[in-house]
Amino acid sequence: MDKKIILSGIKPTGIPTLGNYIGALRNWRLMQEDDKYCYYMVADLHALTVRNDPAELRQQTRSMAALLIACGIDPNRSPLFIQSHVHQHAELSWILGCVTYMGELNRMTQFKDKSAKHADNINAGLYTYPVLMASDILIYGADLVPVGDDQKQHVELARNIAIRFNNAFGETFVVPEPVMPKFGARIMGLQDPEHKMSKTDTNPNGYISMLDEPAVITKKFKKAITDCEPTIAYAEGRYGCNNLLTIYCACTGKTMDEAVKEFEGFGYGKLKTAVADAVIAELEPIQAVYRQYMDDSEELDRIIARGAQQASERAQITLDKAYKAVGIR
Ligand code: AQP
């Protein structure tokens, strides 16, 4: 039986949040099954779309790789690599950009959101980011792309680009599908529960960083914005409460009904403490493994170099195919 190919990535724009973890990283761990072959990438080229500090980017890229291993990605099973170490992504991106319409890129909601957030730096890279992301996906022949809710639109664009290219130049790319988690596809900010939790939020109380100390996690949940309703319930418009319950379910494995029942008759104090404890229990073991890898830089370098080589071999096959299809080479 042919294995399903999986590709997913994360930008090293900061320490990943609980949103990144629930929406993406922990599912990456679970996807490493016998009938799948997974490629996991630290998307450093994507990180350049906002102004960056070079030393910080270098450090965060390594730190992200160590965190992915700590989250359970097994580099002996799934190539783990840094995007810029596989030059073929950027090359294929040019070819794909030539079959992508500006009208499609204009519709990308993340471009609109990020343009509003970085009004002084609306650069062409931010605009064409989804084309590079399509290249990341198509170059490995990925069947499935696990993402949080915010990236679904980009995977749909990658599908459209693949179909258009195949129709114009012959069967070249596998048409990928997004895979969204059942729980937590969009974890919301703790200070602004109507918007997603983001690692570049300027207010650190708005997100739980995966490396936050237990006391900090507890403090941030205590400060989380909720509402004035006297009961705990999962209901329309109760953004803060819904978010806390979703995080609780994601970290404990309980269903929403079970969680709501558990907090019947209690107020937010109990819910917030329980959510904080569940998150701490989930993150503490990951933090311990992360520290081991950050202390052993040779081992981390070895893993990253091997991942790049494995990814590059696969990427070159698709790139050659695409060049040939369009009449170059
Ligand atoms: N709040 C979220 N809830 C669920 N999933 C999320 N993801 C991101 N935020 C949430 C998923 O995490 C994966 C990696 O995301 P990314 O770092 O590549 O970029 P992003 O989606 O733009 O995440 P951030 O944290 O908001 O980064 P910045 O602040 O740099 O833009 C993706 O699968 C994403 O869906």
Q: 100: domain range?
A: 4-184+297-326
C-alpha 31 – ligand 1 centre gap (Å): 18
Together in a domain, 10 and 134: yes
H-only helix segments in the chain: 18-20, 26-31, 44-47, 54-70, 88-97, 102-106, 109-117, 124-138, 152-169, 214-222, 239-252, 256-262, 268-295, 297-326
Helix axes 54-70, 297-326, angle to 10 degrees: 100
4 is catalytic: no
Together in a domain, 177 and 308: yes
> For residue 262, which phi and psi values (nearest 5 degrees)?
-60, -35
Together in a domain, 117 and 138: yes
User: Is 33 among the domain residues?
Assistant: yes
Together in a domain, 310 and 287: no
117 is catalytic: no
Atom of ligand 1 nearest to the CA of 114: 31
User: pLDDT of the chain along its 329 residues, tens only?
Assistant: 689 999 999 999 999 999 999 999 999 999 998 899 999 999 999 999 998 999 999 999 999 999 999 999 999 999 999 999 999 999 999 999 999 999 999 999 999 999 998 899 999 999 999 999 999 999 999 999 998 888 999 999 999 999 999 999 999 999 999 998 887 889 999 999 999 999 889 999 999 999 999 999 999 999 999 998 889 999 999 999 999 999 999 999 999 999 999 999 999 999 999 999 999 999 999 999 999 999 988 999 999 999 999 999 999 999 999 999 999 97
Q: Between the CA of residue 231 and those of 210, 248, 255, 268, what are the distances in Å?
A: 29, 16, 18, 8
Atom of ligand 1 nearest to the CA of 197: 1
Q: What CATH number is attached to the domain comprising 264?
A: 1.10.240.10
Q: Which of 26, 133, 198 to mutate to test the pocket of ligand 1 (most atoms within 8 A of CB)?
A: 198
What is the full DSSP assignment across 110-173?
Answer: HHHHHHHHTTT---HHHHHHHHHHHHHHHTTT-SEEE--GGGHHHHHHHHHHHHHHHHHH-S-S
User: Is 256 among the domain residues?
Assistant: yes
Together in a domain, 214 and 169: no
Pick from 175, 177, 170, 155: which is nearest to 322 by CA? Answer: 170
C-alpha 259 – ligand 1 centre gap (Å): 26
Q: What CATH number is attached to the domain comprising 55?
A: 3.40.50.620
196 is catalytic: yes
Token pair for residue 326? 């369009």
Q: Which of 10, 68, 121, 150 to mutate to test the pocket of ligand 1 (most atoms within 8 A of CB)?
A: 150
